[in-house]
Amino acid sequence: MKKKDVPSLVKDERLIKKRRDQIVKAAVHLFNQKGYHKATTREVAQASGFSIGTLYEYIGSKEDILYLVCDAVYDEVVEKWETLMDENLHGLDRLYQVIEAYFRVVDDLQNEVLVMYQESKSLSEEALSYVLEKEMRMKEMFEKELIKAKELELIQIEEGQLSMVCHNILVAGHMWTFRRWALHKEYTIDTYCKWQINQLFYGLSVNKSATKTITKVQQNLETEGTV
Amino acid sequence: MKKKDVPSLVKDERLIKKRRDQIVKAAVHLFNQKGYHKATTREVAQASGFSIGTLYEYIGSKEDILYLVCDAVYDEVVEKWETLMDENLHGLDRLYQVIEAYFRVVDDLQNEVLVMYQESKSLSEEALSYVLEKEMRMKEMFEKELIKAKELELIQIEEGQLSMVCHNILVAGHMWTFRRWALHKEYTIDTYCKWQINQLFYGLSVNKSATKTITKVQQNLETEGTV
Amino acid sequence: MKKKDVPSLVKDERLIKKRRDQIVKAAVHLFNQKGYHKATTREVAQASGFSIGTLYEYIGSKEDILYLVCDAVYDEVVEKWETLMDENLHGLDRLYQVIEAYFRVVDDLQNEVLVMYQESKSLSEEALSYVLEKEMRMKEMFEKELIKAKELELIQIEEGQLSMVCHNILVAGHMWTFRRWALHKEYTIDTYCKWQINQLFYGLSVNKSATKTITKVQQNLETEGTV
Amino acid sequence: MKKKDVPSLVKDERLIKKRRDQIVKAAVHLFNQKGYHKATTREVAQASGFSIGTLYEYIGSKEDILYLVCDAVYDEVVEKWETLMDENLHGLDRLYQVIEAYFRVVDDLQNEVLVMYQESKSLSEEALSYVLEKEMRMKEMFEKELIKAKELELIQIEEGQLSMVCHNILVAGHMWTFRRWALHKEYTIDTYCKWQINQLFYGLSVNKSATKTITKVQQNLETEGTV
DNA sequence: AATGAATGAGTGTTCATTCAT
DNA sequence: CATGAATGAACACTCATTCAT
């Protein structure tokens, strides 16, 4: 899926970048406050520091603003993430850090991530799939790390579990923003990282003598024929 | 937080219930397709099988529709969940089942949960806090079970982890709907339950010889002074 | 102009009268509070003590309510007026009393008169002309009295003045309602009657010698440099 | 009570004034025909010569239109009134002229005055009190003149009568519009002025010795050729 | 005769988008 | 390149009126 083309009537690429940065910054703030649908293009223009006419010199439609935001947020997340990484770490330490760094970037870019998260569904199919593709690329970053760790025999992970765990990690990051009404009361970003990583690697530490196979539960449910 | 009052011009309580059920059903469908903001009240009325005037005999504002949806979805989830529970199960089996049953209910009520999940942020503060309270009550159901399991020494779980794990379970359920664009390609609800529960209880099965304490990682990160 | 026909689905004339009395009473109250246009038929029905369906058993349209009100108010004014009249009075005293009694009836039926006064313009042409005809009939009552007084040489009034004075009297009554925001602060109905009647009969008591001395006064003032 | 703020999305003050003049003109015409409540904002926009969207660039709500009308009408009345005044007249002549000029302005601005008169009650409390204050200021103009005349001993007027007479004069002006269905059949503005002023100063001539100098005043006014 | 649920045309208002200056 | 006035389709919501029960 290609980058969606956002039309501009202006030629100067440098100016386009500058104005769009202004737009994104203003839009993130506004969309956070009122949501994408309730924020008006006029408001975005004003918050960006120019007129509605000028706004439309740099975008083709309101949706483009949302697209620019989502696009920018992914880039910013990845960029900051890379800044945080210590390339000297190895083994499990590296794995922990990749995840923790991600959580911390999300914490840092809370508003941005939240907007992208809550409003991206309003994108057109074309724009959405581009954005989702970026999401998948982030997922792949975790997959790579996990596969590497598995190959190094640092962790044991079954085939089917791999992808799901990466989804879980990503969503655990998002959660920190979209469930902040609850989580921020109970956790700091430090404790949140600690417990999420702990949970991710060690689970609920099942007392082994109590273990029964999940398969059995499955069977029970299936014989009941419900759902 | 009390149940928000949704005004109706109609007196017959039975009829109100019937019509509101129609409205909720139609609204879930519509909001799924186009989202809350893009769906018009006229469309909701039409999809409900009556005129716009009649719609407004049973609600006070468009927001009330969303509120009715969210309220109904929670009730429906809890109700179906209870139906699925086999009260004869005990120990870890019960724990597995509580979680799996929840996932299966979410799967069954995918559209409903997705709408509630994606659109509830558009509720007014008053309505939202009522809805969030319901969410917290669901979280408590998991908490109770986990505490019970802990007391029976079926699992080991530290203080700070408990709440977060419950959030994780709830969100893992939601994920099945809001990330279905990815997850449903890779998993069936059966395999999804299996892997999520597996992951929840056993984590990534860290190879013990490779284990280092998370605290150490934390220290590394902190000494770097980043974030 | 004939009495406008207000259709009713009910046969029993006595019931029609009873219900319409209820309607008029409720409507006067409501129209006073919110005005004819902002008051809804539902509200009128409710304030009348029955359902919207029943309301429409006794009227054909919302406008009929206004017509009923206007019609009733005139009748009530005339009726109360006659009650107040002392037939033993004669001469100027009678004239004073006719006018004062009218003012006092208006004071008594303030809300009714105000509604009729402010809202009758919303009647259809047909209904309006019937109402205006009633107004003219009231005017004629004053005309008769004034003509009688003129014939008795109690007052001097020129041809063209007669009609206008009667309009003035009627409007002076209405004024007491539609300018009550100002008049009721400054006058009681007693003082209002006194001064209006005084003004009506004696005017501003122009100083007779003033006409002649004006030039003189002016000269004085002008030399003083004032004015 | 301060001038109510009517919000506009347009910045150019000159354009605002121009457009609002258009709006007022169109609204007076429409409100006369159908009344404030039955006239739609779309009709006002169309009659003003622009689209509904443009209308709302210059007002905040429908009520603002009514407010603009009332506000403008008062200003226009006062302005025209002042134009008509001959500052060289003194004594009773001046008094006659102040009143007659007012009647003639009302005649000239019939539609405007009638709308303001009949619809101002639909204003919000805030706007209404501002409008009523303007009305009171007009009343004070008459009060000043009467007090001056009293001090010059041109007229005799008792304390309690003064305010009421001014109300009467104002209402006599309004009457010429809201009772035109009757008055215009019987009077021209010339005869209406003559008889109202006559009545105002000399009453019903109970006392037979009352003079009729009005004819003379009329001649003065007529020879000036104004109005 | 009374009820009140159903109707849908109509209303005020918003806002993304355009385009002349 | 920037501006902001103009546009009008679209929307939430109201309410007089009807009619089956």
Q: Is B4 helix (H, G, I), strand (E, B) or coil?
A: coil
In a domain, C1, yes or no: no
In a domain, A27, yes or no: yes
Question: Is B198 in contact with A217 (Cβ distance < 8 A)?
Answer: no
In the 3-62 segment of chain B, residues within 7 Å (Cβ) of strand E are: 9-12, 15, 19, 50-54, 56-57
| Residue of C162, C164, C209 to mutate when probing chain D, most D C-beta within 10 A | C164
Q: Are residues A219 and A148 in the same domain?
A: yes
Q: How far is C-alpha D66 from the geometric centre of its chain's CA atoms?
A: 16
Chain D nearest C-alpha distance from C221 (Å):
10
User: In strand E, which positions have an atom below 7 A from any protein CB?
Assistant: 1-20
Separation CA B106–CA B103 (nearest Å): 5
In a domain, B1, yes or no: no
Tell me the pLDDT of chain B averaged across its residues. Answer: 90
pLDDT digits (tens, 9 = 90+) for A25-45: 999 999 999 999 999 999 999
Q: Are residues B46 and B73 in the same domain?
A: no
CA of C209 to C1' of E8 (A): 74
List chain D residues with CB under 8 Å of C227: 90
Which nucleotide is closest, CA of D54 to its C1'? Answer: F6
Contact between C95 and C154 under an 8 Å Cβ cutoff? The reply is yes
Asked if pLDDT for residue C219 goes beyond 80, the answer is no
The answer to whether the beta carbon of residue C54 comes closer than 7 angstroms to any atom of strand E is: yes
Q: Are residues C102 and C146 in the same domain?
A: yes
B 38-67 residues inside an 8 A Cβ radius of A: none
Could you say which of B35, B60, B85 is where a domain stops? Answer: B60
Cα nearest neighbour of C204 on chain D: D201
The single residue listed with the structure tokens 């006018």 is C99
Question: Is A212 in contact with B165 (Cβ distance < 8 A)?
Answer: no
Chain B nearest C-alpha distance from A133 (Å):
10
Could you say which of C37, C60, C83 is where a domain stops? Answer: C60
Region B68-81: mean pLDDT is 96
If 0-12 CB within 10 Å is exposed, 13-18 middle and 19+ buried, where does residue C184 land?
A: middle
What string of pLDDT tens digits covers the 227 residues of chain A? 677 889 999 999 999 999 999 999 999 999 999 999 999 999 999 999 999 999 999 999 999 999 999 999 999 999 999 999 888 888 889 999 999 999 999 999 999 999 999 999 999 999 999 999 999 999 999 999 999 999 998 998 988 899 999 999 999 999 999 999 999 999 999 999 999 999 999 987 776 554 444 434 444 444 443 32
Radius of gyration of chain D (CA): 20
Of C156, C186, C205, the CB nearest to D155: C205
CA of C54 to C1' of F18 (A): 12
Q: Are residues A101 and A137 in the same domain?
A: yes
Q: Is C218 helix (H, G, I), strand (E, B) or coil?
A: helix
Contact between D166 and C166 under an 8 Å Cβ cutoff? The reply is no
Pick the more confident residue, C207 or B63: B63
The answer to whether the beta carbon of residue D37 comes closer than 7 angstroms to any atom of strand F is: no
The answer to whether the beta carbon of residue A51 comes closer than 7 angstroms to any atom of strand F is: yes
Structure tokens at C134: 């009633």
Cα nearest neighbour of B91 on chain A: A210
Structure tokens at D209: 């010795």
| CATH assignment at residue C141 | 1.10.357.10
Nearest by Cα to A140 from A115, A107, A110, A165: A165
Nearest by Cα to B171 from C177, A183, A92: A183
Separation CA C29–CA C118 (nearest Å): 14
Residues 6+ apart with CB under 8 A from C15: none
Question: Is residue A155 less than 8 Å (CB to CB) from chain B?
Answer: yes
Instruction: Please name the chains neighbouring C, where neighbouring means 3+ C-beta pairs under 8 angstroms.
Output: D
| CATH assignment at residue D15 | 1.10.10.60
Chain C nearest C-alpha distance from D69 (Å):
18
In a domain, A1, yes or no: no
Structure tokens at C88: 């033993």
Q: Are residues D73 and D51 in the same domain?
A: no
Nearest by Cα to A24 from A109, A121, A103: A109
In a domain, D1, yes or no: no
The answer to whether the beta carbon of residue D19 comes closer than 7 angstroms to any atom of strand F is: yes
Q: Are residues C89 and C194 in the same domain?
A: yes
Could you say which of A60, A90, A106 is where a domain stops? Answer: A60
Separation CA C37–CA D120 (nearest Å): 14
Cα nearest neighbour of C212 on chain D: D154
Separation CA C213–CA C161 (nearest Å): 28
The domain of A170 spans 68-224
Question: Is D92 in contact with C198 (Cβ distance < 8 A)?
Answer: no
Do A and B touch, 3+ Cβ pairs within 8 Å? The answer is yes
Separation CA A57–CA C115 (nearest Å): 57
Structure tokens at D221: 């006014």
Q: Are residues A108 and A200 in the same domain?
A: yes
In a domain, C155, yes or no: yes
Q: Any idea what the Cα angle at residue D208 is, between residues D204 and D211, rounded to 5°?
A: 80
pLDDT digits (tens, 9 = 90+) for B139-184: 999 999 999 999 999 998 988 899 999 999 999 999 999 999 999 9
pLDDT at residue number A97: 93
Chain A nearest C-alpha distance from B100 (Å):
9
Contact between C67 and C127 under an 8 Å Cβ cutoff? The reply is yes
Question: Is A156 in contact with B205 (Cβ distance < 8 A)?
Answer: yes
Q: Are residues A110 and A11 in the same domain?
A: no
pLDDT at residue number A86: 85
Pick the more confident residue, D40 or B225: D40
pLDDT digits (tens, 9 = 90+) for D177-223: 999 999 999 999 999 999 999 999 999 877 443 333 333 333 443 44
Stated pTM of the model: 0.90
Region C32-59: mean pLDDT is 98
Phi and psi at residue C206, to the nearest 5°:
-60, 130
- Determine which of C210-214, D15-19, D90-94 has the lowest per-residue pLDDT on average: C210-214
CA of A33 to C1' of F14 (A): 31
Separation CA A12–CA A20 (nearest Å): 12
In a domain, A45, yes or no: yes
In the 134-193 segment of chain C, residues within 7 Å (Cβ) of strand E are: none
In a domain, C128, yes or no: yes
Report DSSP state, residue A206. Answer: B
Cα nearest neighbour of D32 on chain C: C121
| Count of structural domains, chain C | 2
Separation CA D113–CA D171 (nearest Å): 11
In the 87-146 segment of chain B, residues within 7 Å (Cβ) of strand E are: none
pLDDT at residue number B208: 59
Q: Are residues B10 and B110 in the same domain?
A: no
Q: Are residues B105 and B213 in the same domain?
A: yes
Tell me the pLDDT of chain D averaged across its residues. Answer: 90
Contact between A99 and B214 under an 8 Å Cβ cutoff? The reply is no
Could you tell me the maximum CA-CA distance found in chain A, to the nearest angstrom?
70
CA of D221 to C1' of F1 (A): 63
Question: Is D206 in contact with C156 (Cβ distance < 8 A)?
Answer: yes
| Residue of B204, B216, B218 to mutate when probing chain A, most A C-beta within 10 A | B204
The answer to whether the beta carbon of residue B41 comes closer than 7 angstroms to any atom of strand F is: yes
The answer to whether the beta carbon of residue B178 comes closer than 7 angstroms to any atom of strand E is: no
- C212 confidence band (pLDDT: 50, 70, 90): very low
Question: Is residue B10 less than 8 Å (CB to CB) from chain A?
Answer: no
Separation CA A48–CA B149 (nearest Å): 54
Q: Is B35 helix (H, G, I), strand (E, B) or coil?
A: coil
Nearest by Cα to C44 from C63, C16, C17, C72: C63
Nearest by Cα to D121 from B138, B202, C115: C115
Separation CA D92–CA D218 (nearest Å): 12
Q: Are residues B105 and B38 in the same domain?
A: no
The answer to whether the beta carbon of residue D210 comes closer than 7 angstroms to any atom of strand F is: no
Q: Are residues D84 and D164 in the same domain?
A: yes
Report DSSP state, residue A227. Answer: -
Q: Could you tell me what percent of chain D has a pLDDT over 70?
A: 90
